[in-house]
Structure 1
Amino acid sequence: MSQAADRTAPVRCEISDAVAVITIDRPERRNALNLEVKQVLAELIDAAAADPAVRVIILTGSDRYFVAGTDIGEMATMTPTSHTLQATDRVFNVLRRVDKVLIAAVEGYALGGGCELALCCDLIVAGETARLGQPEIRVGIMPGAGGTQRLVRTIGKYQAMKLVLTGEAVSARDALAMGMVSEVCQDGQALARSRELASTIAAMPPLAVRAIREVMQQGQDMALDSALALERRAFQMLFDTQDQKEGMQAFLEKRAARYQGR
């Protein structure tokens, strides 16, 4: 299955072989997130998440950039009330509810809201010269879409404090060493590598993929004993699936498994 995209839209989606690639395309502003982009992005993510043909969603940006941040020109005159009325955090709430694997393919800059967008994903693949960071403090504010909370859970208090309090961006290699990204590749290859990972994951048993995501996401905020119990229950439940029987039988018969998500 392949789905064409509207090349004039600020965000576009293409679906092929169980993978949806959602591209932010606002190159004149280095793909900065304005209200229109965030609205369309939320709608496309919602649609891809609801599509039974889609197993993995890739977020990326056009023209050698991921997202350089949130559009300061639009945000400068906003009030607390306008943030609420215009639901400026909607796309991040949508991402939090997605039950499919999310991959960020990062080239160039992933700063501010762009970094928070990447941090919503399960995997981050970054080009060699990509830079990631939360520079909000340099314009008088702070991260407001998960930057402080996801960073501290991802890289720990001391590294997270340094990034958020100084506003400094880090290189892809430093981000990899900090545990902030999954993999670094050659510039220009982040999307291609993300597609490879997406294809591998899309071929895995869907129920096991979903169980792994749920256990890891929920368990990270639990006491270890509770998280281990959650893991064990999910592990045992998978033995009631057709995919478990197919996977193990295929292994014993030395053939490729045919997973159905049942």
Structure 2
Amino acid sequence: MLSDIILFDVQDHIAVITINRPDKLNALNKSVFDELDRLVDTVIERPDIRSAIITGAGEKAFVAGADIGEFSSLDSPSGEALARRGQLIFDKIESSPKIIVAAVNGYALGGGCELAMACHFRLASDNAKFGQPEVNLGLLPGYGGTQRLTQLIGKGRTIELLATGNMIDALTAFNYGLVNHVVDRSELISKARSILAVVNVKAPLAVAASIKAAQQAYDADKAGYLTEARLFGELLQTADCKEGVNAFLEKRPAVFKGS
């Protein structure tokens, strides 16, 4: 029996994966990662599935980030391992021979933005917001965000977003090249389905080869992902990170001291 933490439905050869923690703004935790990993394998392995959509439940969020409460108990090695775990799952999405599209309905922040970027392309509702606010916790993105955001929107814009922690709206994300289409929220899934209906009648081997060939443009050197995970683990042990996490959980401004 499938866990209700992620909903899974297949119609017309399109799988819809819905992260289903709306009360937590669909935040990523270990259980979500485990189930997402398994369901991506299902998409890849089942012959009746030709493509997939990843989205979030509820009106407010695609995925509003990681479950910050889980960070409090992590040391450097376990933090680096957590980052690598997320990176490997997102690599599996990015390397899928079947098209996986992100349908971003609301907030895609932190790990949620990283999940969206791991998909082959993104559609956004007109109320979507994107950002990597990890700097507010004394951290950096750990699931590939430093690498994929740079690939998608360029170094200058990436460093500005990473260093400020600011959010951008759907139209800005479109202008930056982060999303392919912006639509009314009520049309988001139907728009994704209409694109995938076109993909699904194309030659599957040609689609898979196109994904693989395009991905090669970014696969020459994976060292950046390893560096990101190592720095994520190191930052978890800083006083600033402990202050940032505690401030977030206590709903107060953080006071950082550079230590």
Scaled to the shorter chain, the TM-score interval is 0.7 to 0.9
- Superimposed CA distance per residue, residues 180-206 of structure 1 (whole angstroms, 9 cap, x where no aligned partner): 111100123222211111111111121
Which of the numbers 14, 21, 29 marks the counterpart of 1:19?
14
Aligned partner letter, 2:74: M
Q: CA deviation at 1:133?
A: 0.8
Query: Unaligned 5+ residue runs, structure 2?
Result: 221-259
Q: Does the C-alpha gap of structure 1 residues 85 and 133 become closer, same or farther in structure 2, counting only changes over 3 Å?
A: closer
| Superposition RMSD in Å | 1.7
Partner in structure 2 of residue 73 of structure 1? 69
Q: Please show how residues 113-262 of structure 1 align to structure 2 within 5 Å.
A: 113-220=111-218
- CA distance in 1: counterparts of 2:175 and 2:39, whole angstroms: 32
Partner in structure 2 of residue 98 of structure 1? 96
Higher helix share: 2
- Superimposed CA distance per residue, residues 162-217 of structure 1 (whole angstroms, 9 cap, x where no aligned partner): 11111101000000000011110012322221111111111112122112111111
- Superimposed CA distance per residue, residues 121-144 of structure 1 (whole angstroms, 9 cap, x where no aligned partner): 111000001001100011110011
Q: Secondary structure at the match of 2:97?
A: coil
Contact 1:35 1:88 survives alignment (8 Å): no
Q: Secondary structure at the match of 1:214?
A: helix
Aligned partner letter, 1:12: L
Contact 1:39 1:91 survives alignment (8 Å): no
Q: Secondary structure at the match of 1:189?
A: helix
- CA distance in 1: counterparts of 2:23 and 2:62, whole angstroms: 13
- Structure 1: which 4+ aligned runs deviate by more than 3 Å? 83-88
Contact 1:33 1:113 survives alignment (8 Å): yes
Percent of residue pairs identical? 38
Q: Does 1:45 align with 2:43?
A: no
Q: Does the C-alpha gap of structure 1 residues 221 and 48 become closer, same or farther in structure 2, counting only changes over 3 Å?
A: closer
Of stretches 184-193 and 172-181 in structure 1, the one that deviates more from structure 2 is 184-193
- Superimposed CA distance per residue, residues 17-76 of structure 1 (whole angstroms, 9 cap, x where no aligned partner): 111111100011000001111111111111111111111111001002200000001123
- Superimposed CA distance per residue, residues 55-99 of structure 1 (whole angstroms, 9 cap, x where no aligned partner): 111100100220000000112321233245666424224324422
Contact 2:97 2:209 survives alignment (8 Å): no
Contact 2:125 2:183 survives alignment (8 Å): yes
Bigger relative contact order (CA 8 A; separation at least 6) = 2
Q: Secondary structure at the match of 2:123?
A: strand
Which of the numbers 44, 51, 54 marks the counterpart of 2:49?
54
Query: Unaligned 5+ residue runs, structure 1?
Result: 223-262
- CA distance in 2: counterparts of 1:85 and 1:122, whole angstroms: 25
Instruction: Look at both structures and tell me which one has the larger radius of gyration over its CA atoms.
Output: 1
- CA distance in 2: counterparts of 1:141 and 1:219, whole angstroms: 28
- CA distance in 2: counterparts of 1:131 and 1:124, whole angstroms: 13
- Matched residue count: 217
